[in-house]
Amino acid sequence: MNFTIPAAGAYVSLADLIALRFPAGQLCLARKKRALSTLAGPNKSNFRGRGIDFEEVRRYQPGDDIRTIDWRVTARSGNAHTKLFQEERERPVLIVVDQRHGMFFGSGHCFKSVLAAHLASLLAWGALDNGDRIGGLVFNGADHREIRPRRSRKTALALLSHIDSYNHALPLAPELPTPSGESSFAGMVHNLRRIAKPGSAIFLISDFHGANDERAQEYLFQLAQHTEIA
């Protein structure tokens, strides 16, 4: 894959985010770990059971589906054997976009907040092309917006619309410490845990200010136990 993200300026354009639908087709978002979701979809997992691709034949074990018995091998060997398949399963992809005060800064080309928005758009469209359910969380330190994962263009557009809205609310006032001392990054991860189901792929697009906060590290560790974080 070799293309340049066409991000420029201090603010995003919703039309530009939508137009990234086409170059996003060059992205490869194939999973590295097995799926944990229970819905059928286009990502292969290592779950043993009925599915799409034949994997191997082994001795029948109690609890195996009798419909998967390989009668030819059973007849030749004199012992019941069953076919195993590699199932294809859908995964939720969550895209987290930081639009806090610190992101409203950049070089002569574009601000970090704009680059984050364009990268999020590419990931959203790429995941949709991959057949995944897409959702996410947009936050600015003062509040946030959650989008629960669904496999639909409407969901992608909703995510991009929220990113555009939060981006155009910049610049915000610098963040103040919370009464508990918890960083806004830690608060974001705490909220993210509510919508991140086991097997989800999570893309964090941020400058990671506050990520070294003890509470943030604790939340990230808990989240990483059952999701893939990039």
Residue type, 190: H
Q: What is the pLDDT of residues 33-82, one digit of tens each?
A: 443 333 445 555 544 444 456 678 888 887 778 888 999 999 999 999 99
Q: Which of 88-97, 127-136, 210-219 has the lowest mean pLDDT?
A: 88-97
pLDDT tens digits for 160-190? 999 999 999 998 777 766 666 678 899 999 9
Give residues with Cβ within 8 angstroms of 5, minimum separation 6: 115, 118, 119, 122
Residue 1 has pLDDT above 60, yes or no: no
Q: Which token pair is 202?
A: 């999570």
Whole-Å CA distances, 164 to 25, 42, 102, 135, 168: 22, 30, 17, 15, 6
**pTM greater than 0.85:** no
> Of the ranges 51-60, 68-77, 85-94, 115-124, which is most confident?
115-124
So where are the chain's domains?
A: 14-31+91-229, 40-89
Instruction: Give pLDDT, residue 40.
Output: 44
CA gap 54, 42 in Å, rounded:
15
| Rounded-to-integer distance, Cα 126 and Cα 124, Å | 5
The CATH architecture assigned to 14-31+91-229 reads 3-Layer(aba) Sandwich (3.40)
Q: How many CB atoms lie within 10 A of CB 63?
A: 5
